[in-house]
């Protein structure tokens, strides 16, 4: 009788351990597709950051009358980034906007998947990535 109880206890402990692992792993696993899609936004933000550095090198400031809160980064053609450079599978050029108006030394660019018109835009809805003048990229998963 004690052998059967010990075996049952081990099986029960294994089931409990698997349940705990599943509880912890499932939320982490669910973010994997979003994280992989966000890499496309990261690439676009990196290209914009490079263009902003060139702009800063030429003008000594990030500020410009065309760089206003909510403006698309391609508007006015002031940066060397075009609509076709930002057109992707999940994110389109409409996603990439200034988050606040840049000043002389700082800026933030946002890529909001909710604004996408890309072929698989519905898969990017809820993904928001931002980059600042230091190259710091942050993500939000809604």
| C-alpha distances in Å from residue 85, one per residue of 26, 47, 51, 76, 100 | 35, 8, 12, 15, 23
Q: Are residues 56 and 19 in the same domain?
A: no
Domain that holds residue 39: 33-141
Does one domain contain both 74 and 106? Answer: yes
Judgement on whether residues 79 and 23 belong to the same structural domain of the protein: no
92 and 44 within one domain:
yes
The tens digit of pLDDT for each residue in 100-141 reads 999 999 999 999 999 999 999 999 999 999 999 999 999 998
68 and 3 belong to one structural domain = no
Q: What is the pLDDT of residues 19-72, one digit of tens each?
A: 676 676 556 556 567 788 899 999 999 999 999 999 999 999 999 999 999 999
Q: Same domain for 16 and 64? A: no
Domain count, the chain: 2
Rounded distance between C-alpha atoms, residue 1 and residue 53, angstroms:
75
Same domain, 23 and 51: no
Burial of 67 (0-12, 13-18, 19+ CB in 10 A): buried
- Residue 67 sits in the same domain as residue 98: yes
Q: Are residues 20 and 68 in the same domain?
A: no
- Bridge-partner residues for 139, per DSSP? 129
57 and 73, same domain (yes or no): yes
What pLDDT shows up at residue 30?
60
Secondary structure (DSSP) of 21-88: HHHHHHHHHHTHHHHHHHHHHHHHHHHHHHHHHHHHHHHS-S--TT--TT-BTTGGG-SS--HHHH--
Q: Are 9 and 74 found together in one domain?
A: no
Residue 16, SS3? helix
């Amino acid at each position: 009788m004690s052998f059967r109880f010990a075996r049952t206890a081990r099986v029960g402990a294994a089931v409990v351990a698997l349940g705990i692992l599943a509880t912890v792993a499932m939320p982490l696993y669910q973010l994997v597709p979003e994280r992989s899609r966000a890499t496309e936004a990261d690439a676009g933000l990196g290209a914009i950051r490079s263009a902003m550095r060139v702009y800063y090198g030429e003008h000594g400031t990030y500020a410009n009358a065309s760089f206003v809160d909510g403006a698309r980064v391609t508007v006015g053609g002031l940066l060397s980034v075009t609509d076709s450079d930002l057109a992707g599978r999940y994110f389109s050029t409409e996603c990439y906007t200034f988050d606040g108006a840049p000043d002389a030394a700082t800026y933030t660019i946002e890529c909001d998947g909710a604004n996408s018109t890309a072929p698989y835009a519905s898969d990017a809805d809820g993904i928001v990535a931002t980059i600042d003048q230091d190259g710091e990229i942050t993500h939000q998963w809604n």
